[in-house]
Structure 1
Amino acid sequence: MKKDIPHIAIEFPDYFPDNFDEFIVDGIENELLDLRVERKEPTAWAASEWIIPGIVAVYILKPYFEAFLKEAGKDHYLLLKNKLNSILAKTKNMNVNTITAKETTNKIDTSNTQSKAISIFIQTKNGIVIKLLYDNNLDLDTWQQSTIDFLHLIEDHYENAKNNSLTEYLNNLEPSRNRTIYGIIDPDSKSWILINNLGQYEREKMNKN
């Protein structure tokens, strides 16, 4: 993304059909909205699969919430929720294969069922980015409803920061240079679980197994 921070940025591969750009902006274009849509060449990553952005990556950044959660912008926030539901529906059944160098093939986590097709990044008031992950084992309705639930939470975080569970969670984080938190949907409660330390999570997961 460019150095100046837009309201929303959406990235997807340059090989997607031409009409995908139109699909992305349809319904959310607004003269007050700084929306960046970018086609990108496939990139090699030397990182955990959770860190790698989805094939379609949506970034909803702090300037958007500061500008569009005001009364005059609330209608657009509703349009954005509908658009995210449409993007989730479009990407739900995309098949994405992870290609690795021969010497790193054994490092792929075959138990990882999080979608590689879509990720949504949401920036909090203090600049931390929460990457929402979507488990392929969950149905589309769960993906969509959980996303709406999180958007309600982030809305409350911006408007009622002192009495908000997300704000409380962020305030209790240990200082870290890592400014990204990962959100996964609990398959039983359908609520979000936030993970600040991937290494610790992996160790806990291995211990449980």
Structure 2
Amino acid sequence: MSPPHIGISYVEDLPRQPFDDFVAEVQRPDLDVRCEARERPGPYAGLEWLIPTAVVVFIGRAYFDAFLKEAGKDHYQLLKAAIQKLTKKFVGSSMPVGRIYFAGANKVQSPTPKYSLAYSVIANLGDGLSVKLLLQPDLSAEECNSAVEVFTAFLEAGIKGTLDPDSVEGLAGAKPVGGTLLVAYNRESKKLLVEDPIPKHVRERQA
């Protein structure tokens, strides 16, 4: 089955209403919008920032191909507003930070995570590349709006080929891991920065 234009996936013990509301806000007859509940997973083994968050919003390449033209710009603004609204429900100082466990011979509990394990946004830009937006778990409502604003602007510029590499810290020479480029919202600069999920000392050993 081909990827949807827009998708949302969430662990099944979360209330369904916010996701139904999101689908109702973005659904159109010519759009493939899917919403799925999934079982809460057990321990993961892997790089923490690449692990699926409890809620994942997905934007497919097919959406950009169809809806970043003049006729679809209004819907892109609607989608951005719906993502901003959902983001504020799952990111903020009132949300539990949570911890994550890695499976292995010796299960290790991670420190309090730098980025939210509850929520993320992933966009497929085509040619095997996806971009994942990481968000600090304590962002304010205004910062959530700003994060989604700069992320969607980044996606649009990337698809159109008008992206200034200097507009995102660390983008020049960035190396996606497993086909995914991780970007985070910098609350000081109000811009995006590229995050490397592989620790620097590991990179140096591999070099």
Which interval holds the TM-score relative to the shorter structure?
A: 0.7 to 0.9
What TM-score results when the alignment is normalised by the length of structure 2?
0.82
More helix as a share of residues: 1
Deviation, 1:132, is 0.5
User: What pairs up with 1:50-129 in 2 under 5 angstroms?
Assistant: 50-92=49-91, 93-98=94-99, 100=101, 103-106=106-109, 108-110=110-112, 112-129=113-130
The one-letter amino acid paired with 1:148 is: E
Separation of aligned partners in 1, 2:54 and 2:114: 15
The one-letter amino acid paired with 2:66 is: A
User: What pairs up with 1:140-155 in 2 under 5 angstroms?
Assistant: 140-155=141-156
Deviation, 1:203, is 5.9
Q: What is residue 35 of structure 1 aligned with on the other side?
A: 33
The one-letter amino acid paired with 1:17 is: P
Whether the 8 Å CA contact 2:61–2:125 is kept in 1: the answer is: yes
Separation of aligned partners in 2, 1:4 and 1:25: 19
CA 1:147–1:99: 2 relative to 1, 3 Å: closer
**Helix, strand or coil at the partner of 1:198:** coil
Deviation, 1:24, is 2.2
Runs of 4+ in 1 over 6 A off after TM superposition: 167-171
1:179 pairs with 2:179: yes
May I ask how many residue pairs the two structures share in their alignment?
196
Percent sequence identity is: 28
The one-letter amino acid paired with 2:88 is: A
**Helix, strand or coil at the partner of 1:26:** helix
Whether the 8 Å CA contact 1:154–1:166 is kept in 2: the answer is: no
RMSD of equivalent CA atoms: 2.7
The one-letter amino acid paired with 2:70 is: E
Q: What is residue 139 of structure 1 aligned with on the other side?
A: 140
The one-letter amino acid paired with 1:109 is: P
What TM-score results when the alignment is normalised by the length of structure 1?
0.81
Structure 2 unmatched ranges of 5 or more: none
More strand as a share of residues: 2
The one-letter amino acid paired with 2:183 is: G
CA 1:75–1:115: 2 relative to 1, 3 Å: same
Whether the 8 Å CA contact 1:62–1:127 is kept in 2: the answer is: no
The one-letter amino acid paired with 1:153 is: F
Structure 1 unmatched ranges of 5 or more: 205-209
User: What pairs up with 1:190-209 in 2 under 5 angstroms?
Assistant: 190-195=190-195, 197-201=196-200
